[in-house]
Every structure is written in C-alpha cells, then in structure tokens.
Structure 1
Amino acid sequence: MRELITLFVVIDPIGSIPVFLYAAANVPARLHRAYALRATLIALVVLMGFLVGGQFLLEALGLRLGTFRIAGGIVLFLFALNMIFGESKPQREIDDAGREDLSNVVFPLAIPSIASPGAMLAVVILTDNHGHSVPEQALTAFLLVVVLAVTFVCLLLASQIQKLIGTTGASIVSRVMGLILATVAVDAVLGGLDMLGLLALDPAAN
C-alpha cells in the first residue's frame, strides 16, 4: 500500500490533466488517444529504466544506497514543498511548455509531468536491492504500471474531469499530494539514516 500511495503521489495523474489539455489543444480530437498513449508509454520506459538500472548505476559509482535515500528524500521534500507552497504543477509545466515544440508531447507531458524527477527518485528508493526481494520489486513494477494505466485513463477523460473539478480543483489535488509526499520524503531520510547506522529506528516505539 505504501508503494502504491508513493507512486500515485509522485506521478500525480490528476495534476497531469491540465498539461495534457494544453499540449493537445491544437490537435484533432481523434488523435488525443494516441497522444495520451504515447506520452504514457514514454514515461513508462523512463521510469522502468530507473527502476531496473538506477541502483546499479549508483553502486557502479561507489555510492551507498543509504546516502542516496537521504539525498532522494531531501529532493522529494523540496519537490513536495514546491507542490504545496509554490506555483501549482500544471500551471508551471504549461508555462514551460510555451517555450517548446509540443508536436510530440514528450515535453512537458511525458517528462516532467508524468515521469517527474520525484518519480524517478522514488522508483529507485522503492526497489532497493538490499531491502527488497525480487518478488517485492516485481510488485513495485506492477504497481507502477497500474498507476500509469490510471494516468492514461485520466488523460483520456481529461476534458470531463477538467469540467468536473476545474483548474482550481487540480491545483488543490496537487497540494494535497505534496503534503503526502512530504511525509514520504521524511520517512525516506529516516530510513537512509537507519541504513547508515546513524539512527536506530525501533518499530516498537511506534
């Protein structure tokens, strides 16, 4: 359940809806499905790449996963603070998109709206080879596919959802997600400190 919530928060399917609507604004409606599918598949390839090879890259560089968990937790926390107090995710990415060619919707829809830096860090942390078995990592990969499938459905229903909750509603959802992500980030930092032997976490104390 923790992995599912973390992935749902960092990918933020609802927050990607305004970005999709903006990116596909000048695209015929008959192509919206193909655009949504393409962006989701690109995000899947990117995140699966980090899930499978992220830790191997770290270890090849001689970095301990505990230090990465701490660094990743700090970055996720800053990302969460930006979601809570900063400009909303959809508007920020829409503004950035105005400077780019949207013909292939790789930017900003696939990256960084769906496959965000926070999501890339999260999949590495959630599949620690030293703390999770292969079946557990496979489950995380499956949950990633599930969340991206939900994202794809949200993009297909983007117009209806946008009418229902509006841009303000999407902004509120993004900020609530940010609060949850901040909690996940703090837990990641504590877990990293525990892995390095700098903090003794006693489950019984909870």
Structure 2
Amino acid sequence: MDDWLSSFVFFFAVIDPVGTLPVFIAVTSRHSEWQRRKIALLAVAVATGILLFFLLAGQYLLEAIGVPLSAFQVAGGIVLFLFALTMIFGESKPEQEVDIIREGHETAIFPLAVPSIASPGAMLSAVVLTDNHRFDPIHQVNTATAMLAVLGIVLLLLLTANWIYRWIGDAGASIVSRVMGLILASVATTNVLLGIQQFFMS
C-alpha cells in the first residue's frame, strides 16, 4: 500500500492534474459543453496511451540503444529538477502552457495531451518506476494502477473544469502548481541519488 501511495503521489506531482485545468479551459474556450467533454476524453486517452507505451516498452528501448537505466534515471532526475524549479520560481505550469496556447496551438493533442498531461517528466517516471531489474511484476502492476488512478483524476477534473476553475481561480491553480513543483524537486533529487548509487553498484 505504501508503494502504491508513493507512486500515486509521484505521478500526481509530475502530471499535475490541477495545473492542467487552465490549459484545458483555454483550449476549449470556444467549444460547446459536449465538445469540451469529447476533447477531455480524447486528450486523456491519448496521454494514457503514450504513458502506457513508456511504462511497457520504455526500458526495452533504452536497453536496445545501450543506455543503462541508471544513466536515464540520473538524466531524468536532472530534467525533473529543472522542470520543478520552473514551477517553483518561474512561471507556473498553467501560465507556461497557456502561453503556448496563445501562440495558436489550440488542439486537444497539443498542448493538452502532450505536454500537459503526458509530460516529459511523466514519461520518465513511467520508465523509472517500472525498472525490470528493481521491481517485480506485482510492483509494476501497482505502479500502472497508480498512474491510471491519477489519469482518472485528470479526466474527472477536466469534465468538471469550469466549476472547479471558478472556485480556485488563477491564483489557486498557480499555488497548487508551485507546491507540486516543490514535491517534484524532492523526488527528482532522490532519483539522481538512486541512479548514481545503482551505477556504481552495477
């Protein structure tokens, strides 16, 4: 149960469901309610497919090109840490991705499915948390269910986005995104330390 909860918190931080709300609202501002629901379902479905692909095949791809998972874990931890710093000190995730939308990319696939939901951090996490050399199949299934639970929350939030966003506002979404950034920075640091340890132990 502790492992499942840990994976859930990890994916919740990197996917940041609350931070996706402003992006979704901006993308669907000109659509009807039924169209918004369709876009929400499509975006979450695409993001789920991408993350499941990385969860199932990511490690095999790395091994095929000769990249040890420990190196990928360190690199991923550094990328996650830099991403977390932008969430904490720079523009928050909602502000960054709404800026992308203002440049004209107003589709459900980009930036909603990628990189808002299936972010680079989430892809890296799917690979690292299902390392075949560290985790047995039961643990990997638990990780997959934790990830799917977070994606289920994303879908629920998107389907109720207008009501929720009216309640928390821009400031609320920005605060939540920064708190998630702090959690993500801690997780990223742990990944780097574990990657270094595994590299020298192997």
1:17 aligns with 2:16: no
Structure 1 residue identity aligned to 2:68: R
**What displacement does 1:163 show?**
1.1
Q: Distance in 1 between matches of 2:34 and 2:79?
A: 39
Paired letter, 2:64: A
Do residues 108 (structure 1) and 111 (structure 2) align?
A: yes
| Partners of 2:90 and 2:119 in 1: CA distance | 16
Which residue does 1:179 correspond to in 2? 182
Long gaps (5+) in structure 2: none
CA deviations 1:10-47 (Å, max 9, x no partner) are 00000000000000000011221111111000000011
- Partners of 1:133 and 1:189 lie apart in 2 by 22
Whole-Å separation in 2 of the counterparts to 1:186 and 1:155:
30
Query: Any unmatched runs of 5+ in structure 1?
Result: 199-206
1:63 matched to 2:67? The reply is yes
* Corresponding residue number in structure 2 for 1:165: 168
For residue 197 of structure 1, give the secondary structure of its aligned residue in structure 2: helix
Provide TM-score, normalisation by structure 1: 0.93
Query: C-alpha displacement at 1:100, in angstroms?
Result: 3.3
The answer for the alignment partner of 2:30 in structure 1 is 26
Partner Cα distance (1:28, 1:160) in 2: 15
Deviation at 1:98, TM superposition (A): 2.2
Letter in 2 for 1:67: A
What is the rounded CA distance, in whole Å, between the counterparts of 2:67 and 2:96 in structure 1?
33
State the alpha-carbon separation in 2 of the partners of residues 37 and 98 from structure 1.
Answer: 22
1:66-91, CA deviations, whole angstroms, 9 ceiling, x for partnerless residues? 11111111111001001101111111
Q: Which amino acid aligns with 2:48?
A: L
Paired residue for 1:128?
Answer: 131
Counterpart in the other structure of 1:190: 193
RMSD between superposed Cα atoms in Å? 1.3
Q: CA separation in 2, counterparts of 1:142 and 1:100? A: 35
Conserved 8 A contact 1:100-1:107: no
Could you tell me the TM-score, scaled by structure 2's length? 0.95
> Residue 143 of structure 2 corresponds to which residue in structure 1?
140
Kept in 2, the 8 Å contact 1:15–1:170? The answer is: yes
2:11–2:150 contact (8 Å) kept in structure 1: yes
Alignment of 1:71-110 (within 5 A): 71-102=75-106, 104-110=107-113
Of stretches 23-32 and 13-22 in structure 1, the one that deviates more from structure 2 is 23-32
Q: Which residue of 2 aligns with 1:50?
A: 54
Q: What CA deviation, in whole Å up to 9, does each residue of 1:104-158 have, x standing for no partner? A: 4111110111011111111111111100011111111111111000000000111
Identity percentage over the alignment? 49
Structure 2 counterpart of 1:204: none
Q: CA deviation at 1:101?
A: 4.2
- 1:42·1:110 contact (CA, 8 Å) conserved in 2? yes
The 2-side partners of 1:123 and 1:28 are apart by: 34
In the alignment, the residues of structure 2 paired with residue 75 and residue 148 of structure 1 have an alpha-carbon distance, to the nearest angstrom, of 22
CA distance in 1, matches of 2:34, 2:52: 29
Preserved contact between residue 33 and residue 156 of structure 1 (Cα < 8 Å): yes
